[in-house]
Amino acid sequence: MNKPTKTISYVDSMIIVDKYLNVIHTNRYNPRFDKEKMKNEYEDYHGKKYYEVYPHLDLKESTMTQCLKTGSVIYRDRQSFADCNGNKYTTRNITYPIIRFGEIVGAVELSQDITVLSDYTDDSIDVLNTKDDLPKEQGTMHAGSQGFTFEHIMTSNEATRESIRQARVFALNRNPVLIYGETGTGKEVFVEAMVNSNPAFQKQLVAQNCAAIPETLFESMLFGSKKGAFTGAEDRKGLFEIADGGVLFLDELNSMPLHLQAKLLRVIQDGVVRPVGSTEDKKVNVKIIAAVNQQPSELMRSHLLREDLFYRLSGNMITLLPLRKRKEDIKLFIDYYAKTYSKEYNKRIETFSPSLMELLRQYHWPGNVRELKHIIESMISLAEEPVLTTHNLPIYFREMLQYEDQEILGLPLETQPLMAMDPLKNVVETAERAHIEKALEATQGNVSRAAELLGIPRQTLRYRMDKLGFK
């Protein structure tokens, strides 16, 4: 094993993966977050792929994948990233290969948290210059990206085509827009396409995931601050001033505190912001595009979205269908990603077996296009034969199917149809409790996987569990 030339003085977190990038162990101590919350969130990492835990990570640049590929110890002095729960970090990492009998069987990464206040107020804001390069991936927005256009959006589904038509119209004015779609349905792609279809908005696109901002910093990040307004405060522009003349994209709007949603409504109506600690208003000219990944009606019932804000945004609302409701598009994405990753990994993939194709068509895809993309990449990267079968499916995927009592591996799919659980909102409280218990039992208490089985977001499942008295 190569010896590292640098070290880290103390460790905040450790993550271990096997050679297939399955997360087999992780822990983290971070005083910036509540200990119980961190415990719950990081228990969710187990059983997932590394790229599912960090969905925006570029695998080519990842220290973990470089370590697995080369067998070398990798050191990185500074790395900023976000996890699947929206938490953002800046860390110093050192990654060691795990070698057994001369074979690389995994890797362990030790991290030191070096996140400071400036990482939240500056680095956590994605200022997207729409003239740079954008990887052609539906479902992900990257800093420094070339404009995705509506022509890049692949679909044969009439409802999705109607959503594209609506987005083209909404892009021509400065009225605020609300986009609803589950995780991985391509909300960010629609935002990029809208910005690039109107030259008036191409100055810049500022994107912020609301779930990634600590509540104590939320107001100053949105509206800016004056020096001395609070401990450590400096004269700093907020998101609205940074986006002035362009577009501000607020993802996961329902993660914004309700009292700030009221102030956001005022900005939409009056076009002025007041920095924290200031007595003067500032005029801004910003088109606001907001997104939520849960049904707005459910968010309002759960008091996560203000009704008056929703009614102001709903005049220009776009709904994106989940992949399971646009099955005619599944083969489009399979063909596209199969071609893309066959070229990237230098593999000659000739076809998918009928059983595998039918399984991919029948699967309910809780992660939508993003999940499909990663599954295709995983299968092709490890493939040794020109024909992919159900045996090439990632381990976590096969395990999820087995949780549903589906013995599909090696058998014709036609004899083992997939079972879909009833939507949680359609059952009464007594049946709802039994339904949740069944899902938790099937996933051995993993709340995120249980939410996937139930077809609802993890946050909604947590809310319903609290209401029903689950411990």
pLDDT 10s digits, 399-444: 666 554 444 444 344 334 444 444 444 446 677 888 888 888 888 8
Alpha carbon distance 243, 286 (integer Å): 6
Q: 1.10.1060.10, 3.40.630.10, 3.40.605.10, 1.10.8.60: which CATH number matches 323-415? A: 1.10.8.60
Q: What are the two backbone dihedrals, phi and then psi, of residue 379, each rounded to the nearest 5 degrees?
A: -65, -45
| Percentage of the residues of the chain whose pLDDT score is greater than 70 | 77
The mean per-residue pLDDT over the stretch 197-214 comes to: 82
Alpha carbon distance 373, 242 (integer Å): 33
Which residue's structure tokens are 């609506």? Answer: 166
Alpha carbon distance 77, 357 (integer Å): 43
Instruction: For residue range 27-61, list pLDDT tens digits in order.
Output: 765 444 444 545 555 566 777 788 878 877 777 77
Host H or E run for residue 111 = strand 103-113
Nearest Cα residue to 25 out of 108, 97, 139: 108
The mean per-residue pLDDT over the stretch 83-109 comes to: 83
Is the pLDDT reported for residue 461 higher than 70? yes
Sequence spans of domains, the chain: 13-115, 120-319, 323-415, 424-467
Higher local confidence (pLDDT), 323 or 14: 323
The mean per-residue pLDDT over the stretch 105-118 comes to: 74
Q: How confident is the model at residue 229 (pLDDT cuts 50, 70, 90)?
A: low
Domain 424-467 coded CATH 1.20.120: no
Alpha carbon distance 415, 400 (integer Å): 18
Is the pLDDT reported for residue 5 higher than 80? no
| Percentage of the residues of the chain whose pLDDT score is greater than 90 | 29
Least confident interval from 272-281, 284-293, 358-367, 404-413: 404-413
Q: How confident is the model at residue 171 (pLDDT cuts 50, 70, 90)?
A: very high
Q: 3.40.50.300, 3.90.650.10, 3.40.50.720, 3.90.226.10: which CATH number matches 120-319? A: 3.40.50.300
The mean per-residue pLDDT over the stretch 340-365 comes to: 89
Is the pLDDT reported for residue 203 higher than 90? no
DSSP string, 111-155: EEE---HHIIIIITSEEE-TBS-----TT---SS-BPP-GGG---
CB atoms < 10 A from the CB of 375, how many? 22
Q: Identify the pLDDT of residue 102.
A: 80
Instruction: For residue range 57-91, list pLDDT tens digits in order.
Output: 777 778 888 888 888 888 888 777 777 776 777 78
Q: Give the pTM.
A: 0.59
Q: What are the two backbone dihedrals, phi and then psi, of residue 462, each rounded to the nearest 5 degrees?
A: -60, -45
Q: Identify the pLDDT of residue 307.
A: 95
Q: Identify the pLDDT of residue 66.
A: 84
CA dihedral 424, 426, 428, 433 (to 10 degrees): -10
Q: 3.40.718.10, 3.30.420.40, 3.30.450.20, 1.10.630.10: which CATH number matches 13-115? A: 3.30.450.20
Mean per-residue pLDDT of the chain? 79
Higher local confidence (pLDDT), 126 or 28: 28
Is the pLDDT reported for residue 174 higher than 50? yes
13-115 and 323-415: identical CATH topology: no
Higher local confidence (pLDDT), 11 or 435: 435
